[in-house]
Structure 1
């Protein structure tokens, strides 16, 4: 018995795709243009989250040349130009990502992306991996007037899906995702392999996901009985 339509809102980087290597390549190209030494992928992985300007701010600070938030914002268009030219050279889907999205789609779940990555490049990446078709909505860092952890992007995603917070679950990898979902009273699952910046158990999520094929089972545990698909 299904009384309401169910929805899943996904984060992108560190949740569905492992994009750290391509992000690092773009950041390092920007740093090199300013005569600064780049960072290895592992270090950049810990800088991801909060949007492009925040990544640049962290990257320049770690290279020994801190920039202001305003200056980082000024550098963001050049970073995006570099990154958008080759966003999937080294990027990969996390194991079982495509299969899980297809399974949920076939089960009648509506799905959306809510990311701080710009909308256009997010759609291009999803299309490259042939998974864009599973998403009713893609809300990027430039889609609304605010970025995560502000709840506005998530609220926009839910509006486009045509559901309320009571019929949806957020799946992400960071405290930003958890805070955003909490602001709308939504349950949230956190993957344990992402770019969260702290131990997954410390994120305060309602459930932890070690492998994406666990998500359908986790959704059943998080959804109220009235929303569960029988």
Structure 2
């Protein structure tokens, strides 16, 4: 594997798991409990999934949003009662991750989702055992695109940025990778904004294609 980045760091939501439906379900329930007749359009909601919980909740609840701190706390409490179905995984994710790990890559997660929810989602989808480092949002640590969470992954793995790849689905993921000088690979099936223009040579519509490209580099 000479010359190949041996550590692969993945975003979670929009990269491995399509969490939009469960988030919209929770927020629609919150709206109904407030007597609102607003129904959230899932397509409108998708780009907000990468913005971090507080901004997402405030934007999608709209005029029904009261105290933002209380709203995000309620949203996360409701999320903790939900089970993330394995069917929420994007196509080829489980097989691709297994193939990459069996080829000798070290896998890690770097997500803005709070750590307890990251752990819960990975347990629900039976992916947790594949990762050597799992870093989610933590009190007092700025969210991506600030570099702090990604730096925590590098510290846990004891690796240098040049020895990693970061794989994500949004301009926020690209920005944090660039901040630390980590090469970035993009999955189009996630939550990027419409005006984000990724590098077409490092963009993939399916996780299986991304995994195959990385694996091909081992033997190049």
Give the TM-score normalised by structure 2.
Answer: 0.89
- Output one character per residue of 1:30-57: Cα deviation in whole Å (capped at 9) or x when no partner: 2223332231322222321121101111
Match among 120, 124, 129 for residue 133 of structure 1:
129
Provide structure 1 residue ranges, at least 5 long, that are not aligned to the other structure: none
| Shift in alpha-carbon separation, 1:110–1:209, aligned structure 2, 3 A | same
1:171 corresponds to 2:171: no
Q: In structure 1, how many angstroms separate the alpha carbons of the residues matched to 2:173 and 2:96? A: 20
Q: Which residue of 1 aligns with 2:204?
A: 209
Deviation at 1:144, TM superposition (A): 5.8
Aligned-residue Cα RMSD (Å) equals: 2.4
Q: Is the 8 A contact 2:21 2:42 kept in 1?
A: yes
SS at match of 2:210: helix
SS in 2 for 1:115: strand
Q: 1:54 aligns to what SS in structure 2?
A: helix
Asked if residue 6 in structure 1 is aligned to residue 6 in structure 2, the reply is yes
Deviates more, 1:82-91 or 1:117-126: 82-91
Listed one character per residue, the Cα deviations across residues 114-157 of structure 1 (whole Å, up to 9, x for unaligned) are 11111111111111221111111111122661101101111111
Q: 2:47: which partner in 1? A: 46
Q: 1:58 is matched with which residue?
A: 59
**1:25 maps to what in 2?**
25
CA contact (8 A) 1:5 1:163 kept: no
TM-score where L is the length of structure 1: 0.85
Trace 1:192-203 onto structure 2 (pairs within 5 A). 192-198=188-194, 202-203=197-198
Match of 1:106 among 95, 102, 106: 102
In structure 2, runs of 5+ residues without a counterpart are none
Out of 82-91 and 158-167, give the one that drifted further. 82-91
The one-character-per-residue Cα deviations of 1:55-107 (angstroms, maximum 9, x if unpaired) are: 1111122xx4466xxx3223211100111101415861101000011011101
Deviation at 1:27, TM superposition (A): 1.3
CA distance 1:212–1:5, shift in 2 (3 Å): closer
Moved over 4 A (4+): none
Q: Residue 120 of structure 1 aligns with which residue?
A: 116
Does the 8 Å contact 2:100/2:215 carry over to 1?
no
Give aligned pairs, total.
Answer: 219
